[in-house]
Each structure stands twice: as C-alpha cells, then as structure tokens.
Structure 1
Amino acid sequence: MTNSKDIKKRSVTISGHPTSISIETEFWDILKSIATRQEISINDLLSRIDDGREGNLSSATRIYILKDLISENQTHPKHS
C-alpha cells in the first residue's frame, strides 16, 4: 500500500512554464527510464504527456507510464 511518504513532489518545466508534479517514487523511476529510452529529458517527456492529457498531470503521467509498460510487454514479452 502506498502512503504519503512514497509520493515525491518535483518541480519541472513544461513547455517553458514551471510547475510541479507529485507521483510515487516508483513512477519517477519508470518515467526516467522511459525518457532515457526515448533519448529525451523528463521535462520533454512530461511536455508530451501534458499536450495530450485529460485530467490532472499526475494522473495523466501514471496512465502514460501504464500504457508504455503494457506496450513494452507486448513488444518484448517475457517468457516464463
């Protein structure tokens, strides 16, 4: 279960505008991995998420990460 200590608030710049986003540490780690894989900064990735989002940025980011993980799993399934 997630508690408030697991949520990290970070200042970011999205499309030239400073803002902040609060998501769980695990999501920050995955977001960094996605940005690295796409060879862009976390701010640039968040700008892309922000451009297509509905609802708040934190929720949109979690949904983006979930969709990315599903897509990666379908592209590179792990065999047991």
Structure 2
Amino acid sequence: MTVKHSITIAGHATSLTLEPVFWDALHRAATQDGRALAQVVAEIDEARTTNLSSAVRVWLMERALARQG
C-alpha cells in the first residue's frame, strides 16, 4: 500500500507517494548522510527524468546496490 507524503523542496510543496518501506529507507538514507530529508529529495528531484516517486525508488535501489559492493 502506498502513502502520500508532503514535503517542501526548493521552496515549493510537493508530494511523494511511496510504500512505507521506501519512506523508511529514505529517512534512513538522509540520517546516514547527515542531511535533511528535504535536501536528499531536492537532489533526487534535480536529477530525475521520471516522476519523483519513481525517481526516489530508483535512487534508493542504486544506493543499496552500491553499498553492497
């Protein structure tokens, strides 16, 4: 089940629709990087070529794969 979350990035409100496992992973990634959640999402937003929710999922998967070695 997906859940819609509101977040403000680059001075404007937007929303992400993510499954709880991805939302939790996004929070953990921001904490691990010592950055605010909005900073991480803004970075993903700037680089994306698809909708923001999909871009977040891809970013999290790529991060997980890179950390595996």
Common fold, TM-score beyond 0.5? yes
Matched, 1:8 2:3: yes
What's the CA shift string for 1:28-79, capped at 9, x where partnerless?
A: 11101100011011111000000000010000000000000001111xxxxx
Task: Kindly name which structure, 1 or 2, has the bigger radius of gyration based on alpha carbons.
Answer: 1
**2:5 counterpart letter in structure 1:** R
TM-score (norm. length: structure 1): 0.83
Matched, 1:22 2:17: yes
Structure 1 residue ranges, 4+ long, deviating more than 3 angstroms after superposition: none
- What's 1:55 paired with? 50
TM-score (norm. length: structure 2): 0.96
Q: How many residues align?
A: 69
Q: Which runs of 5+ in 2 are unaligned?
A: none
TM-superposed CA distance for 1:9, in Å, is 0.6
* Two-structure CA RMSD over aligned residues (Å): 0.6
Identity %: 35
Q: Distance in 2 between matches of 1:73 and 1:54?
A: 25
